[in-house]
Amino acid sequence: MESTEGLETIPIEIRNQGTKLIVQYIFDLCQSPNSKPLYRTKLMVVGYENVGKTTLLDCLFPLSDYILVPTSFATNHLYFFRLEGKFLNRYGQGGLYKQYILENKEWSLTKKIRKKLFQGKNDYGIEIEKIDKWKENIVLYFENEERRDKWFERISKLVLNEATHGIEVSNHIWESSTLNQLQYKNLKAKRNEEKKEKEKEGKDDYVEFSTWDFGGHNDYYNIHHYFLSNRSIFLVLYRVDQGIKGLESLDFWLKSLSTHLNQNYCDEKGKPFYSIIIIGTFLDSALVLDSKSNPRKRKIEEVDNDSIINQSEDKNLRQSKILEIYDKNGLKSPPFYFEVSCSTLENIDELREIIFLIFH
Protein backbone atom coordinates (compact mmCIF):
# COMPACT_ATOMS: atom_id res chain seq x y z
CA MET A 1 0.00 0.00 0.00
CA GLU A 2 1.64 3.24 -1.14
CA SER A 3 -0.32 5.69 0.96
CA THR A 4 -2.32 5.38 4.12
CA GLU A 5 -3.91 8.80 3.81
CA GLY A 6 -7.37 8.86 5.31
CA LEU A 7 -6.56 6.01 7.66
CA GLU A 8 -5.20 8.19 10.45
CA THR A 9 -7.59 6.81 13.03
CA ILE A 10 -6.22 3.32 12.51
CA PRO A 11 -3.28 2.52 14.78
CA ILE A 12 0.03 2.89 12.99
CA GLU A 13 1.04 -0.62 14.03
CA ILE A 14 -1.76 -1.80 11.74
CA ARG A 15 -1.18 0.77 9.00
CA ASN A 16 2.35 -0.46 8.38
CA GLN A 17 1.32 -4.10 8.15
CA GLY A 18 -0.07 -3.90 4.62
CA THR A 19 -3.46 -3.92 2.96
CA LYS A 20 -4.66 -7.30 4.21
CA LEU A 21 -4.28 -6.47 7.87
CA ILE A 22 -5.72 -2.99 7.41
CA VAL A 23 -8.82 -4.47 5.81
CA GLN A 24 -9.10 -7.01 8.60
CA TYR A 25 -8.81 -4.25 11.17
CA ILE A 26 -11.50 -2.16 9.50
CA PHE A 27 -13.67 -5.26 9.48
CA ASP A 28 -13.07 -5.71 13.22
CA LEU A 29 -13.98 -2.05 13.73
CA CYS A 30 -17.19 -2.42 11.75
CA GLN A 31 -18.22 -5.26 13.99
CA SER A 32 -18.02 -2.98 17.01
CA PRO A 33 -19.77 0.29 16.19
CA ASN A 34 -19.04 1.74 19.62
CA SER A 35 -15.30 1.76 19.15
CA LYS A 36 -13.57 4.64 20.87
CA PRO A 37 -10.41 6.60 20.12
CA LEU A 38 -7.38 5.89 22.29
CA TYR A 39 -4.19 7.86 22.82
CA ARG A 40 -1.43 5.45 23.67
CA THR A 41 2.25 4.96 23.16
CA LYS A 42 5.29 3.18 24.52
CA LEU A 43 8.00 5.28 26.12
CA MET A 44 11.29 3.45 26.26
CA VAL A 45 14.24 4.70 28.28
CA VAL A 46 17.70 3.40 27.42
CA GLY A 47 21.25 4.29 28.34
CA TYR A 48 24.20 2.95 30.31
CA GLU A 49 23.92 2.31 34.03
CA ASN A 50 23.80 5.27 36.40
CA VAL A 51 22.73 7.81 33.80
CA GLY A 52 19.51 8.46 35.71
CA LYS A 53 16.88 6.62 33.65
CA THR A 54 14.64 5.69 36.56
CA THR A 55 15.06 9.10 38.19
CA LEU A 56 14.09 10.82 34.96
CA LEU A 57 10.94 8.73 34.70
CA ASP A 58 10.12 9.58 38.30
CA CYS A 59 10.45 13.25 37.38
CA LEU A 60 8.35 12.94 34.26
CA PHE A 61 5.60 11.01 35.96
CA PRO A 62 5.22 12.49 39.44
CA LEU A 63 2.81 10.91 41.87
CA SER A 64 0.32 13.20 43.52
CA ASP A 65 -2.57 12.57 45.89
CA TYR A 66 -4.54 13.99 48.76
CA ILE A 67 -3.20 11.95 51.63
CA LEU A 68 -4.35 11.63 55.19
CA VAL A 69 -1.74 12.51 57.79
CA PRO A 70 -2.36 11.59 61.43
CA THR A 71 -1.41 14.34 63.78
CA SER A 72 -1.09 14.49 67.50
CA PHE A 73 -4.31 14.58 69.56
CA ALA A 74 -5.67 11.78 67.33
CA THR A 75 -6.78 14.16 64.63
CA ASN A 76 -6.11 13.63 60.95
CA HIS A 77 -5.75 16.06 58.10
CA LEU A 78 -5.79 15.69 54.36
CA TYR A 79 -2.81 17.25 52.60
CA PHE A 80 -1.81 17.39 49.01
CA PHE A 81 1.45 15.50 48.40
CA ARG A 82 3.52 15.28 45.26
CA LEU A 83 6.42 12.89 44.72
CA GLU A 84 8.55 14.23 41.89
CA GLY A 85 12.00 12.83 41.28
CA LYS A 86 13.59 12.52 44.69
CA PHE A 87 11.39 15.19 46.29
CA LEU A 88 8.38 14.48 48.44
CA ASN A 89 6.51 17.78 48.64
CA ARG A 90 3.74 18.50 51.07
CA TYR A 91 1.51 21.43 50.24
CA GLY A 92 -0.52 23.52 52.57
CA GLN A 93 -2.92 26.35 51.84
CA GLY A 94 -0.11 28.79 51.25
CA GLY A 95 1.70 26.54 48.76
CA LEU A 96 4.68 24.29 49.42
CA TYR A 97 4.75 23.54 53.13
CA LYS A 98 7.61 21.08 53.45
CA GLN A 99 10.02 19.25 51.19
CA TYR A 100 11.73 15.93 51.96
CA ILE A 101 14.60 14.51 49.91
CA LEU A 102 14.23 10.76 49.96
CA GLU A 103 17.03 9.57 47.73
CA ASN A 104 20.11 9.53 49.91
CA LYS A 105 19.66 6.28 51.80
CA GLU A 106 18.78 8.32 54.87
CA TRP A 107 15.26 6.98 55.17
CA SER A 108 13.65 3.63 55.77
CA LEU A 109 10.18 2.62 54.71
CA THR A 110 7.60 0.25 56.18
CA LYS A 111 4.12 -0.73 55.16
CA LYS A 112 1.49 -0.07 57.77
CA ILE A 113 -2.01 -1.39 57.64
CA ARG A 114 -4.22 -0.09 60.40
CA LYS A 115 -7.67 -1.42 59.77
CA LYS A 116 -10.72 0.28 61.24
CA LEU A 117 -8.66 3.21 62.42
CA PHE A 118 -10.40 5.58 60.06
CA GLN A 119 -13.79 3.94 59.74
CA GLY A 120 -12.84 1.84 56.80
CA LYS A 121 -11.36 4.72 54.84
CA ASN A 122 -7.68 5.50 54.45
CA ASP A 123 -6.73 2.29 56.16
CA TYR A 124 -3.75 1.72 53.97
CA GLY A 125 -0.68 3.43 55.27
CA ILE A 126 3.06 3.67 55.01
CA GLU A 127 5.66 5.00 57.38
CA ILE A 128 8.85 6.68 56.23
CA GLU A 129 11.42 7.03 58.98
CA LYS A 130 14.67 8.96 58.96
CA ILE A 131 17.65 6.86 59.96
CA ASP A 132 19.36 9.28 62.27
CA LYS A 133 19.25 10.12 65.89
CA TRP A 134 16.26 12.42 65.55
CA LYS A 135 14.06 9.66 64.08
CA GLU A 136 11.86 12.02 62.12
CA ASN A 137 8.98 10.14 60.57
CA ILE A 138 6.20 10.66 58.04
CA VAL A 139 3.04 8.54 58.25
CA LEU A 140 0.69 8.61 55.31
CA TYR A 141 -2.68 6.96 54.76
CA PHE A 142 -4.11 6.42 51.32
CA GLU A 143 -7.56 6.14 49.90
CA ASN A 144 -7.13 2.55 48.84
CA GLU A 145 -4.65 -0.28 48.72
CA GLU A 146 -3.80 0.29 45.07
CA ARG A 147 -2.71 3.89 45.66
CA ARG A 148 -0.81 2.91 48.77
CA ASP A 149 1.05 0.19 46.88
CA LYS A 150 1.91 2.59 44.09
CA TRP A 151 3.38 5.11 46.52
CA PHE A 152 5.09 2.36 48.49
CA GLU A 153 6.74 0.96 45.36
CA ARG A 154 7.95 4.36 44.19
CA ILE A 155 9.25 5.44 47.60
CA SER A 156 10.99 2.08 48.17
CA LYS A 157 12.90 2.52 44.94
CA LEU A 158 13.97 5.97 46.09
CA VAL A 159 15.06 5.10 49.60
CA LEU A 160 16.85 1.92 48.53
CA ASN A 161 18.42 3.69 45.55
CA GLU A 162 19.26 0.40 43.81
CA ALA A 163 19.93 -0.18 40.15
CA THR A 164 16.97 -1.29 38.04
CA HIS A 165 16.70 -5.05 37.69
CA GLY A 166 15.73 -6.31 34.23
CA ILE A 167 13.16 -4.04 32.64
CA GLU A 168 10.67 -2.09 34.71
CA VAL A 169 7.31 -1.74 32.96
CA SER A 170 4.71 0.74 34.21
CA ASN A 171 1.61 2.46 32.94
CA HIS A 172 0.97 6.15 33.34
CA ILE A 173 -1.64 8.57 32.16
CA TRP A 174 -0.90 12.19 31.43
CA GLU A 175 -3.73 14.62 31.29
CA SER A 176 -3.27 18.07 29.87
CA SER A 177 -3.27 19.36 33.44
CA THR A 178 0.10 17.63 33.74
CA LEU A 179 1.47 20.51 31.71
CA ASN A 180 1.79 23.97 33.09
CA GLN A 181 -0.62 26.69 31.97
CA LEU A 182 1.58 28.19 29.27
CA GLN A 183 2.43 24.81 27.79
CA TYR A 184 -1.20 23.83 27.87
CA LYS A 185 -2.12 26.99 25.98
CA ASN A 186 0.51 26.27 23.34
CA LEU A 187 -0.68 22.71 23.01
CA LYS A 188 -4.25 23.82 22.56
CA ALA A 189 -3.25 26.30 19.88
CA LYS A 190 -1.30 23.65 18.01
CA ARG A 191 -4.09 21.16 18.23
CA ASN A 192 -6.75 23.57 17.11
CA GLU A 193 -4.67 24.55 14.14
CA GLU A 194 -4.03 20.97 13.12
CA LYS A 195 -7.39 19.48 13.73
CA LYS A 196 -9.43 22.49 12.70
CA GLU A 197 -11.52 21.98 15.78
CA LYS A 198 -12.92 18.75 14.51
CA GLU A 199 -12.52 17.20 17.91
CA LYS A 200 -14.63 18.33 20.76
CA GLU A 201 -12.71 20.39 23.25
CA GLY A 202 -11.09 18.34 25.97
CA LYS A 203 -11.82 15.00 24.37
CA ASP A 204 -8.21 14.11 23.62
CA ASP A 205 -6.52 15.70 26.57
CA TYR A 206 -4.71 12.63 27.73
CA VAL A 207 -2.06 10.16 26.70
CA GLU A 208 -1.56 6.68 28.11
CA PHE A 209 2.07 5.67 28.36
CA SER A 210 3.54 2.27 28.82
CA THR A 211 7.00 3.12 30.13
CA TRP A 212 9.85 0.63 29.74
CA ASP A 213 12.82 1.39 31.94
CA PHE A 214 15.67 -0.74 30.61
CA GLY A 215 18.14 -1.76 33.32
CA GLY A 216 21.43 -0.20 32.28
CA HIS A 217 23.78 -2.91 33.46
CA ASN A 218 25.40 -4.71 30.55
CA ASP A 219 24.16 -8.10 31.79
CA TYR A 220 20.71 -6.97 30.76
CA TYR A 221 21.65 -6.05 27.20
CA ASN A 222 20.90 -9.67 26.37
CA ILE A 223 17.21 -9.08 26.86
CA HIS A 224 16.59 -5.57 25.58
CA HIS A 225 16.27 -6.45 21.95
CA TYR A 226 13.07 -8.44 22.40
CA PHE A 227 11.18 -5.36 23.42
CA LEU A 228 12.38 -2.50 21.25
CA SER A 229 9.43 -1.76 19.03
CA ASN A 230 8.94 0.61 16.13
CA ARG A 231 6.02 2.55 17.49
CA SER A 232 7.72 4.10 20.48
CA ILE A 233 9.20 7.26 21.83
CA PHE A 234 12.78 6.49 22.84
CA LEU A 235 14.55 8.49 25.49
CA VAL A 236 18.26 7.85 25.00
CA LEU A 237 20.24 9.10 27.98
CA TYR A 238 23.85 10.04 28.54
CA ARG A 239 25.60 11.97 31.29
CA VAL A 240 26.58 15.50 30.37
CA ASP A 241 29.20 15.50 33.11
CA GLN A 242 31.05 12.55 31.55
CA GLY A 243 32.18 14.61 28.58
CA ILE A 244 33.26 12.81 25.44
CA LYS A 245 32.93 9.42 27.12
CA GLY A 246 29.30 10.20 27.86
CA LEU A 247 28.64 11.34 24.32
CA GLU A 248 30.29 8.30 22.81
CA SER A 249 28.12 6.03 24.92
CA LEU A 250 25.25 7.18 22.72
CA ASP A 251 26.79 5.37 19.78
CA PHE A 252 26.06 1.98 21.35
CA TRP A 253 22.40 2.78 21.93
CA LEU A 254 21.77 4.50 18.62
CA LYS A 255 23.41 1.61 16.80
CA SER A 256 21.20 -0.77 18.73
CA LEU A 257 18.10 1.21 17.76
CA SER A 258 19.12 1.37 14.11
CA THR A 259 19.50 -2.42 14.15
CA HIS A 260 16.09 -3.06 15.58
CA LEU A 261 13.93 -0.37 14.05
CA ASN A 262 12.65 -0.75 10.55
CA GLN A 263 13.52 2.47 8.75
CA ASN A 264 10.91 1.76 6.09
CA TYR A 265 7.99 1.99 8.51
CA CYS A 266 6.95 5.58 7.93
CA ASP A 267 3.77 7.58 7.71
CA GLU A 268 2.50 9.16 4.50
CA LYS A 269 4.86 12.10 4.98
CA GLY A 270 7.88 9.80 5.27
CA LYS A 271 8.23 10.33 9.01
CA PRO A 272 9.21 7.18 10.89
CA PHE A 273 6.84 5.83 13.53
CA TYR A 274 9.49 6.10 16.20
CA SER A 275 10.74 9.30 17.79
CA ILE A 276 14.06 9.66 19.50
CA ILE A 277 14.82 12.18 22.21
CA ILE A 278 18.42 12.32 23.30
CA ILE A 279 18.79 13.57 26.83
CA GLY A 280 21.88 14.75 28.62
CA THR A 281 21.41 14.23 32.36
CA PHE A 282 23.26 15.59 35.41
CA LEU A 283 23.13 19.10 34.00
CA ASP A 284 23.54 20.40 37.52
CA SER A 285 26.77 18.51 38.06
CA ALA A 286 29.75 20.40 39.37
CA LEU A 287 31.83 19.93 36.23
CA VAL A 288 29.31 21.53 33.96
CA LEU A 289 28.58 24.33 36.36
CA ASP A 290 32.28 24.94 36.86
CA SER A 291 32.94 25.41 33.20
CA LYS A 292 29.90 27.65 32.84
CA SER A 293 31.11 29.98 35.51
CA ASN A 294 34.78 29.73 34.72
CA PRO A 295 35.61 30.01 31.02
CA ARG A 296 39.30 30.27 31.82
CA LYS A 297 39.24 26.82 33.31
CA ARG A 298 37.78 25.54 30.07
CA LYS A 299 40.64 27.02 28.02
CA ILE A 300 43.16 25.32 30.21
CA GLU A 301 41.46 21.99 29.97
CA GLU A 302 41.09 22.14 26.22
CA VAL A 303 44.72 21.18 26.08
CA ASP A 304 43.59 17.72 26.94
CA ASN A 305 41.68 16.57 23.87
CA ASP A 306 39.50 14.18 25.77
CA SER A 307 38.11 16.87 27.96
CA ILE A 308 37.32 19.48 25.33
CA ILE A 309 33.64 18.70 25.31
CA ASN A 310 33.61 17.60 28.91
CA GLN A 311 34.46 21.08 30.05
CA SER A 312 32.59 22.96 27.40
CA GLU A 313 29.70 25.19 28.32
CA ASP A 314 28.59 25.00 24.76
CA LYS A 315 25.49 22.93 24.40
CA ASN A 316 25.71 23.40 20.63
CA LEU A 317 29.02 21.64 20.55
CA ARG A 318 27.54 18.64 22.26
CA GLN A 319 24.52 18.78 20.02
CA SER A 320 26.56 18.74 16.82
CA LYS A 321 28.59 15.79 18.06
CA ILE A 322 25.35 13.97 18.85
CA LEU A 323 23.97 14.65 15.38
CA GLU A 324 27.16 13.27 13.91
CA ILE A 325 26.75 10.03 15.90
CA TYR A 326 23.05 9.91 15.04
CA ASP A 327 23.61 10.31 11.31
CA LYS A 328 26.39 7.76 11.31
CA ASN A 329 23.91 5.20 12.56
CA GLY A 330 21.50 5.86 9.71
CA LEU A 331 18.50 6.78 11.81
CA LYS A 332 15.79 8.81 10.13
CA SER A 333 14.36 12.14 11.18
CA PRO A 334 16.64 14.26 13.41
CA PRO A 335 16.31 13.62 17.13
CA PHE A 336 15.13 16.06 19.76
CA TYR A 337 17.82 17.08 22.21
CA PHE A 338 17.48 18.09 25.84
CA GLU A 339 19.77 18.64 28.77
CA VAL A 340 18.08 18.18 32.11
CA SER A 341 18.71 18.00 35.79
CA CYS A 342 16.70 15.59 37.89
CA SER A 343 17.98 17.28 41.03
CA THR A 344 16.82 20.78 40.22
CA LEU A 345 14.13 19.65 37.75
CA GLU A 346 15.62 22.03 35.19
CA ASN A 347 14.05 21.51 31.73
CA ILE A 348 11.82 18.67 32.94
CA ASP A 349 8.66 20.63 32.14
CA GLU A 350 9.96 21.39 28.65
CA LEU A 351 10.78 17.74 28.07
CA ARG A 352 7.33 16.74 29.22
CA GLU A 353 5.80 19.20 26.78
CA ILE A 354 7.82 17.84 23.86
CA ILE A 355 6.80 14.28 24.65
CA PHE A 356 3.18 15.37 24.79
CA LEU A 357 3.49 17.22 21.50
CA ILE A 358 5.29 14.38 19.71
CA PHE A 359 2.43 12.11 20.47
CA HIS A 360 -0.24 14.54 19.42
The answer to whether 347 and 177 are in contact (CB under 8 A) is no
Contact 238, 249 (CB under 8 A): yes
**Binding of residue 6 to other proteins (CB under 8 A):** no
Q: Measured from the CB atom, is 85 or 272 closer to other proteins?
A: 272
Using only C-alpha atoms, the chain has a radius of gyration, in whole angstroms, of 23
Q: Is 261 in the site for other proteins (CB under 8 A)?
A: yes
Query: What is the C-alpha separation between 87 and 91, in angstroms, rounded?
Result: 12
Residue 255 interacts with other proteins (CB under 8 A)? Answer: yes
14 binds other proteins (CB under 8 A): yes
DSSP codes, 182-199? HHHHHHHHHHHHHHTT-S
By CB under 8 A, residue 13 contacts other proteins: yes
Q: Is 23 in the site for other proteins (CB under 8 A)?
A: no
Q: Does 144 bind other proteins (CB under 8 A)?
A: no
Please tell me whether residue 46 binds other proteins under the rule CB under 8 A: no
Contact between 3 and other proteins by CB under 8 A: the answer reads no
Report the nearest approach of other proteins to the CB of residue 29 (Å).
Answer: 5
- Least distance from other proteins to the Cβ atom of residue 296, Å: 42
Other C-beta atoms closer than 10 Å to the C-beta of 239 total 22
Q: Tell me, what DSSP letter sits at residue 163?
A: P
Which residue number, 297 or 360, has a Cβ lying nearer to other proteins?
360
Q: Does 4 bind other proteins (CB under 8 A)?
A: no
**CB 295 → other proteins: shortest distance, Å?**
40
Q: Are 257 and 234 in contact (CB under 8 A)?
A: yes
Among 22, 69, 117, 167, binds other proteins (CB under 8 A): 167
226 binds other proteins, rule: CB under 8 A: yes
SS3 sequence of 226-283:
CCCCCCEEEEEEEEHHHHHHHHHHHHHHHHHHHHHCCCCCECCCCCECCEEEEEEECC
Task: Specify the stretch interacting with other proteins by CB under 8 A; choose among 102-110, 224-232, 284-292, 304-312.
Answer: 224-232
Please list, in sequence order, all residues whose beta carbon lies within 8 angstroms of the beta carbon of residue 98, skipping any fewer than 6 positions away: 89, 90
Restricting to residues 47-86, name those near other proteins by CB under 8 A.
none
